[in-house]
């Protein structure tokens, strides 16, 4: 009887440890990539998925670098404003939203000139899938924190 009780307790203990996996530490352990590393990874992904030639790779690499530099600049400006404690007004938020939309449209136009029609269609489809993934992750994040 004692052996059965000990075996049952051991099983419950092991099962308890097996259930204790959480994904947050995995996310925290992931190291941050530099903007150059992110650009290179994105370029490799686009090259493999869209079959880019060497000329297209060079143009896309330059476009990614420009976009990354602008994003870093905007991120730094937002951080400075947040650190100073000032919240953006509705007009400032609207202006930023319009600026980001204009940047996105300009980026799309540049990609359209770099890629062939078929590649552009694939790229646009990838963009939509990524947007959907981001929305889904945001929903999950909000559920976790509410």
DSSP string of the chain?
-HHHHHHHHHHHHHHHHHT---SHHHHHHSPPPPHHHHHHHHHHHHHHHHT--HHHHHHHHHHHHHHHHHHHHHHHHHHHHHHHTPPPPHHHHHHHHHHHHHHHHHHHHHHHHHS-HHHHHHHHHHHHHHHHHHHHHHHHHHHHH-
The tens digit of pLDDT for each residue in 24-39 reads 555 555 678 888 899 9
Asked if residue 89 belongs to a domain, the reply is no
- Is 131 contained in some domain? yes
Task: Indicate whether 19 belongs to any domain.
Answer: no
Q: Is residue 25 part of a domain?
A: no
* Domain annotation covers residue 44: yes
With respect to residue 31, please indicate whether it lies within any of the assigned structural domains.
Answer: no
Give pLDDT tens digits for 108-140.
Answer: 999 999 999 999 999 999 999 999 999 999 999
Taking the whole predicted model, whether its pTM rises above 0.75 is answered as no
Domain with 65 in it: 37-84+99-146
């Amino acid at each position: 009887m004692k052996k059965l009780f000990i075996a049952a307790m051991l099983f419950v203990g092991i099962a308890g440890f097996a259930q204790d996996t959480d994904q947050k530490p995995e996310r925290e352990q992931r190291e941050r990539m530099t903007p150059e590393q992110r650009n290179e990874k994105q370029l490799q992904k686009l090259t493999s998925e869209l079959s880019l030639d060497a000329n297209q790779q060079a143009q896309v690499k330059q476009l990614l670098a420009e976009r990354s530099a602008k994003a870093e600049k905007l991120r730094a400006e937002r951080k400075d404003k947040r650190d100073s404690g000032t919240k953006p007004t509705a007009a400032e938020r609207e202006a930023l939203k319009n600026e980001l939309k204009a940047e996105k449209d300009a980026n799309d136009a540049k990609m359209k000139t770099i890629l062939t029609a078929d590649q552009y269609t694939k790229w646009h489809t990838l963009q939509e899938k990524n947007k959907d993934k981001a929305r889904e992750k945001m929903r999950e994040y909000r559920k976790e924190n509410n």
